[in-house]
Amino acid sequence: MKLKLSILLIFPVFFTFAQTSAIQIQPHIRLPQDSLASQQLVHALNGFLAASAEPNEDNPWVLESQIIETHILLDEFKDIEKSQAFADDNFYQPYLNNVVELNENQYLIQLSYIGTKDTVSHLRASYELIAHQSGDSFKFSSPLIYNTRNWKTAEINNNIFHYANHINEDNLQAFGRLAAEFDEKLKIENKITEFYCTENLTTLLKLMGVNYRLDYNGVRQANFSASLENKKLIILGNDNAAFDNLDAHDLWHDRLSLKISRRKVNKPVDEACAYLYGGSWGMTWEEIFDRFYEQVASNKKTNWMQIKEEPVNFGESRATHLMADYVVNALIVQKIEKEQGFEDVWTLLNCGPFEKGNANYYVALEELTGITKKNYNQAVWKLIKEERQLP
């Protein structure tokens, strides 16, 4: 996408920071009147941007009282300078667009990442930060808390919901029941989740400090999250300004992530649990299984081991996908939980991340159920017949 932008590049301020070019300051930008404060602000901002390339927890320029809110914004800075189209890891450079004094010790910072090729400027992203003066330096935060300072809150158990106008009380209570059910399975205690309810991705991004990002062009819905110690922050951008859309499938994933990183568990088993306990795309587990049976399992020549290696989508589209192997794993999870309890499901979940060949998966499966690679197909057909209540 090409944007013709008029950018003044006179007297830019240059510093050298690893992996991040110093922010370029246009001469008309109104920095703090105190020249020392101006130097401190620019130095700290360059430090924040340079450290944004590192793990979030290693950024020393983040305001301590708003760490998790700022981490969710820092995720949006990762690799922002890179351009695949122009094969340049430093194509997009940071420009300071605006500095607005909010009060004696706080400033709203607006900045953009822009690259130029053949006299045409390309905008990658525009951000907002709040700079907080602290002694002889500055620290930075996402504007999320500032932008929602007049919102209302509702609490259920250890879950806090922030919303602008009103909230669906029925869904709030249903959420509380489901969260408690999942937490009991997962043995989760003393974890806090905080939700911000918004209408769409555009609103979500603006609240957290992203005014524009090329990568999300045309995308309407998404949910963002960040975790820190015993707390998880989730910003809902899926037609959920009033929490009218409770998704039990996503709720399972959210609760699991409070216990362990989802990167560490076996994804097909994780998704199987989500299908079984929460359905998917508005469909119940029963409806998913019926569709699976009609569109995949009706072919008696289906090779389930092959489907594990070569995924089959029987959903309505690529976006609203339903994966055959996840259904098979749901049948296996259901069997294990019914006969042996959730502790053994947890063992299968933790057999290791998905890998080609599924060696770790088959080892764990055999130990838990006696199902081996040799009798896998036969065992799956048996589970399908039992679920379908066929003779």
CA distance 76 to 116: 21
pLDDT band at 3 (very low <50, low <70, confident <90, very high): very low
- pLDDT greater than 80 at residue 379: yes
Average pLDDT over residues 140-164: 97
How does pLDDT run across 168-201, given as a tens digit for each residue?
Answer: 999 999 999 999 999 999 999 989 999 999 999 9
Of 134 and 121, the structure prediction assigns the larger pLDDT to 121
Is 60 exceeded by the pLDDT of residue 301?
yes
Domain boundary residue, one of 209, 240, 259: 259
Instruction: Look at residue 8 and tell me if it is in a domain.
Output: no
The DSSP code for 22 is P
Domain identity same for 135 and 236:
no
Within a domain: 182: yes
One domain for residues 136 and 162: no
Per the domain annotation, does 3 fall within a domain?
A: no
pLDDT tens digits, residue range 5-46? 333 332 333 333 444 579 999 888 999 989 999 999 999 999
Q: Write out the residue range of the structural domain in which residue 314 sits.
A: 267-388
What angle, 0 to 180 degrees and rounded to 10, lies between the N-to-C axes of helices 324-340 and 342-349?
Answer: 140
Helix axes of 248-259 and 267-278: crossing angle, nearest 10 degrees: 130
> Whole-number mean pLDDT of the chain?
92
Say how far apart CA 64 and CA 333 lie, in whole Å: 42
Same domain, 306 and 242: no
Contact 258, 182 (CB under 8 A): no
Average pLDDT of span 154-175 = 96
For residues 389 and 359, which has the higher predicted lDDT (pLDDT)? 359
Q: What is the pLDDT of residues 78-119, one digit of tens each?
A: 999 999 999 999 999 999 999 999 998 999 999 999 999 999
**Is there a single domain that holds both residue 231 and residue 293?**
no
Per-residue confidence (pLDDT) for residue 119, from 0 to 100: 92
Query: Are the C-beta atoms of 80 and 90 separated by less than 8 Å?
Result: no
Whether residues 132 and 159 fall in one domain: no
Of 141, 172, 203, the residue that ends a domain is: 141
Which of the listed residues 107, 141, 175 is the one where a domain comes to its end? 141
Asked if residue 194 is part of any domain, the answer here is: yes
- Rounded CA gap, 52 and 34, in Å? 27
- Claim to verify: residue 243 and residue 271 sit in the same structural domain: no
CATH number of 93's domain:
3.10.450
298 and 252, same domain (yes or no): no
* 4 located within any domain: no
Pick 154 or 4 by higher pLDDT: 154
pLDDT given at position 188: 94
Looking at the fold, whether 312 and 375 belong to one and the same domain comes out as yes
Q: How far apart are CA 364 and CA 286, in angstroms?
A: 27
Q: Is the pLDDT of residue 1 over 70?
A: no
Under a CB-based contact definition with an 8 Å cutoff, are residues 113 and 179 in contact?
Answer: no
Residues 238 and 162 in one domain: yes
- In this structure, are 164 and 188 located in the same domain? yes
- Give me the pLDDT at residue 135, please: 87
122 and 30 co-located in one domain: yes
Residue 9 has, within 13 A of its CA and on its CB side, a CA count of 10
Residue-level pLDDT at 8: 30
Are residue 49 and residue 134 in the same domain, yes or no?
Answer: yes
Domain count, the chain: 3
For β-strands 152-156 and 159-163, DSSP reports them as antiparallel
Burial status of residue 3 (CB atoms within 10 A of its CB: 0-12, 13-18, 19 or more)? exposed
